[in-house]
Structure 1
């Protein structure tokens, strides 16, 4: 029996199903995203990148969002048709999420992954959850073929190093984290195991507990790490190769993206859809964009003080001095207004 926190009838307001899959007996592999309006652009290109590099796979994409325009819907439909795939858009009621902890970097949309896991209870055995700032550059067949044990709730990829794991184990009062702490932007969820262990309900209850909230710094990621200790399957970093484009500003940095990388996760505030992210590491995203209905859409300009600040730094780093100076002027203007 399902032990879900979110009832489909309460949280799913509407569904648009763009199904262009050819008639086949092959079971589709399900990939899901949970986003707000700021990540619709990135989500579309992320899906395009997977389709571009896995055109022999039968894939269904599920996009859970609290905002979408008719123009967005048309592009997702066109993308599904272009690649003979299926994209389903779910308009979500977020009322249950808005009272949960949030930061300027993580809004209530970070909790959509719990709605997603509960929605698929009794519908399928596994779902790949991805953050929208992930681009694909390789074959995902290993994930499709991956087998779970009965006790493994999700396949995950570590974040940081052993020193970071030790710090998280202490600050979260969870000794088991010394053996590994994962990034929740990639979760291959074993749906039956997640459901029977009541993960969504437990996570939400922890996020409403002041004693837990006082410990966590990474919101649902911290909570999921606490809940999945001993029941997570750690897989190769190539499935969630994390890199911040802002590392390009350092005097020296090591780019972990290589020929074996399957998913590039663009962590940090600068995303590959920003105009100032003109680096080689952004090419997987930009290539997918050029092979998608977003091909003619401009990359995004800065809109707030923080973005103007990073834009200025990157423009100067790229020796685009006039644009860098102008961006700094806008940054100072935004700071004064705010």
Structure 2
């Protein structure tokens, strides 16, 4: 039997329902990928099967073996490594990455990379903790959409279109209709977007996804992508700080914070669990899972006091914080 036929049988599992989840990383984030992967497999240990596709951009062989070893702990799990070490060449142009890894752009290629018989897949960033079974999320109807996600708190504020159906999503958690993406040549459209912008893209691959998929994006409940600031700012302050339009109602926001399905450990003033002095409420949960991986005991990264920054953030008016943030972004754009 050819390897592609074996792969097809494994992923579809004949009559079993397999959850296809995609993660992307380079060597620098391999430990974070391991934690995200473990959190996924731990809460899905009783489903029919979970197939995790790892888009590898120069992950070392040693780290790959460690990642596969995590999968071996779970009888219903399969780990498939997709080598994208030539990612820069596949994108066709140099793209701006700022503080991010080039691996973040790999999600644009999912429709081409995953087998043709996989019609739906969930992409997750590797700074994520999965807290509950996501089978219900996979049941969301996206037949007439390219992608579904939680509304963005960054570029949504800059969107000049107020229609309820027109919004931007955060690309860290995205549920993909791969069948439709393939039919409408989504990957080709993304590569054309990069070429036409000469790789100078405001919010990286997130901008590409929102522009290429415009009008074919479905909003998910915010509990499927609860970002760091949501845990520390009350709804009114949150809206003021980010100046977002057409955001979620207060009840949905509060429900997401009290009962998160997916926690997105975004870069924010409270720090991240792998940094010193992080005060994120799920830091202990991250550390617990890290100790179950081959990266247990990895030293924390140095970072200035998160408590001090959080105090300033809470004291300043939201509108002032928004102005300061815009000035910072403008300065950074001029330095590039």
Q: Which residue of 2 aligns with 1:237?
A: 222
Q: Which residue of 2 aligns with 1:298?
A: 298
Residue 188 (str. 1) matches residue 188 (str. 2): no
3-state DSSP of counterpart to 1:42: helix
Unaligned residue ranges in structure 2 (runs of 5+) = 1-6, 240-252, 311-336
Give the whole-Å Cα distance in 1 for the aligned partners of 2:55 and 2:179.
20
2:211 aligns with one of 226, 236, 245: 226
Cα deviation for residue 300 of structure 1 reads 3.3
Quickly say closer, same or farther: Cα 1:278–1:70, change in 2 above 3 A.
farther
Residue 47 (str. 1) matches residue 47 (str. 2): no
- Return 49-58 or 273-282, whichever deviates more: 273-282
- 1:1-338 matches, cutoff 5 A: 25-57=15-47, 58-84=49-75, 85-92=77-84, 93-94=86-87, 95-97=89-91, 99-120=93-114, 122-149=116-143, 151-160=144-153, 165=156, 167-169=158-160, 179-210=166-197, 216-243=201-228, 258-268=257-267, 270-294=271-295, 296-302=296-302, 311-314=303-306
RMSD: 3.4
TM-score under structure 2 normalisation? 0.72
Give the whole-Å Cα distance in 1 for the aligned partners of 2:100 and 2:64.
25
Q: Deviations over 1:244-270 (max 9, x none)?
A: 59979xxx9899663421111111174
Quickly say closer, same or farther: Cα 1:177–1:222, change in 2 above 3 A.
farther
Quickly say closer, same or farther: Cα 1:314–1:105, change in 2 above 3 A.
same
Give the whole-Å Cα distance in 1 for the aligned partners of 2:165 and 2:19.
33
Cα deviation for residue 148 of structure 1 reads 2.4
Cα deviation for residue 312 of structure 1 reads 2.3
Residues 245, 277 of structure 1: 8 Å contact kept? no
Residues 166, 177 of structure 1: 8 Å contact kept? no
Q: Deviations over 1:114-153 (max 9, x none)?
A: 222211262311111111111111121212322222x211
Residues 45, 285 of structure 1: 8 Å contact kept? yes
Q: Deviations over 1:256-307 (max 9, x none)?
A: 663421111111174322243254232332232233343x3324334xxxxx
Give the whole-Å Cα distance in 1 for the aligned partners of 2:174 and 2:104.
13
Give the whole-Å Cα distance in 1 for the aligned partners of 2:297 and 2:78.
22
Give the whole-Å Cα distance in 2 for the aligned partners of 1:288 and 1:127.
24
Higher relative contact order (Cα pairs below 8 Å, separated by 6+ residues): 1
Give the whole-Å Cα distance in 2 for the aligned partners of 1:116 and 1:37.
20
Quickly say closer, same or farther: Cα 1:75–1:213, change in 2 above 3 A.
closer
Quickly say closer, same or farther: Cα 1:155–1:89, change in 2 above 3 A.
same
Unaligned residue ranges in structure 1 (runs of 5+) = 1-16, 303-310, 319-338
Quickly say closer, same or farther: Cα 1:73–1:195, change in 2 above 3 A.
same
Quickly say closer, same or farther: Cα 1:90–1:106, change in 2 above 3 A.
same
Quickly say closer, same or farther: Cα 1:65–1:177, change in 2 above 3 A.
farther
Give the whole-Å Cα distance in 1 for the aligned partners of 2:204 and 2:64.
30
Give the whole-Å Cα distance in 2 for the aligned partners of 1:169 and 1:34.
31
Give the whole-Å Cα distance in 2 for the aligned partners of 1:185 and 1:71.
26
Cα deviation for residue 316 of structure 1 reads 6.8
Cα deviation for residue 176 of structure 1 reads 5.9
Give the whole-Å Cα distance in 2 for the aligned partners of 1:201 and 1:297.
42
Give the whole-Å Cα distance in 1 for the aligned partners of 2:139 and 2:168.
24
